[in-house]
Amino acid sequence: MPNKKKLVDLVVTSLSKQLQQAIDAANEAHAAAVDDQSVAETQYDTLAIEASYLAEGQSKRVMEFQHAIDTYKALELIEFNNDSFIALGALVQLSADAETNHWFFIGPAAGGFRGQIAQHSITVITPQSPMGKALIGKQLDDDIEVMRGSNKLEDYIVTLK
């Protein structure tokens, strides 16, 4: 059984690395926007404008990563039982994934993150994702249907923690 605390730590570590990269990129973009080399030489020279847009976009990424980290740090990790309804913080395994030891963790952010903890492969999904929408509110042994592109995945929930 994967340890939720270790998983959250793994996600926060990954988000923190991405946050630092975004901070570095935002600083570089900001420096480029105010650099003497960026001053327009003609009316068609848009280097400074492009650099300022890039700096603004990078700053938004920084805020998004920081928000994601904050939501994980505030996430209350509860243990779900056989009578629980799937919600944020649930660790779910589908029938087809039992043999490969693959799990879904419903997290507040960082959807698509994949990690390994003690021989368990875990994919983070958010409640807004197609898989998240299919799982939220369901219980153990409930059937789910998810459209993956043009393919329909039909399965049922075998484990909930």
Rounded alpha-carbon distances, angstroms, from residue 145 to 42, 118, 152 = 57, 29, 7
Q: Over the stretch 1-26, which tens digit does the pLDDT of each residue have?
A: 789 999 999 999 999 999 999 999 88
Given a contact cutoff of 8 angstroms between Cβ atoms, the answer to whether 29 and 61 are in contact is no
Looking at 5-14, 38-47, 137-146, which range is the least confident one?
38-47
Q: How many Cα neighbours within 13 Å face the side chain of 64?
A: 13
Instruction: Say if CB 135 and CB 123 are below 8 A apart.
Output: no
Radius of gyration of the chain (CA): 21
CB 107 within 8 A of CB 14: no
**Residue 42 clears pLDDT 70, i.e. is over it:** no
Mean pLDDT of 125-154: 94
Arithmetic mean of pLDDT, 47-54: 78
pLDDT score recorded for residue 130 = 94
Give CATH for domain 91-160. 3.10.50
The helix (H) or strand (E) run that includes residue 127 is none
Q: Can you tell me which residue has the tokens 């960082």? A: 110
CB 60 within 8 A of CB 26: no
Ranked by mean pLDDT, the top range of 21-30, 37-46, 65-74, 143-152 is 65-74
Q: Helices 4-34 & 47-74, crossing angle to 10 degrees?
A: 160
In the structure, what pLDDT confidence band is assigned to residue 135 with cuts at 50, 70 and 90? very high
Q: Where are the beta strands (DSSP E) in the chain?
A: 91-94, 102-106, 114-117, 120-125, 143-148, 151-160
Q: Is the pTM of this model over 0.75?
A: yes
